Structure 1
Amino acid sequence: MTHRTGFGWIVTLLAAITLGVGCDQQGPAEQAGESLDNAAQDVQETLDPQGPAEETGEAVDDALGN
């Protein structure tokens, strides 16, 4: 269980860094980083699937552009 939790924190930290350092236009490095973040998120969701409340919250975030 600790391994999954640690992995989740790593993914969250990478996503926060990506969002915090972002700019208006994405360059090739930022696009590659976003692809890596998305891949890591997919792996995390495979290992530890989201519940219905998390899925709803993510859908709301996506709709609002967050």
Structure 2
Amino acid sequence: MKKMLILAAATGLASLAACNSTPTEQAADNIEANSEAVADNLEEAADNATTDAAEDRLENRADAVRDTGQNQAEDMRTNDPDTNLSNGM
């Protein structure tokens, strides 16, 4: 049930953010929302892990997913939209 609530909230936030945004900004927001939802699911799984090692591993994966999503969204916002490279080549 929590997963559905998180997914619904992420979808709602993405649609609100889309009101006054460019397509690039919308895509970046969607990347962030999706990675946040995946990271939240991994953290839920970590809470239910049977060993400390498994819990740590899942929490580390959640952190990595969250960081990757933020980096990809930031890259999309700041770099050339056609090539996704800062120098435009």
User: With structure 1 as the length reference, what TM-score do the two structures score?
Assistant: 0.45
Point out the structure with max Rg over C-alpha. Answer: 2
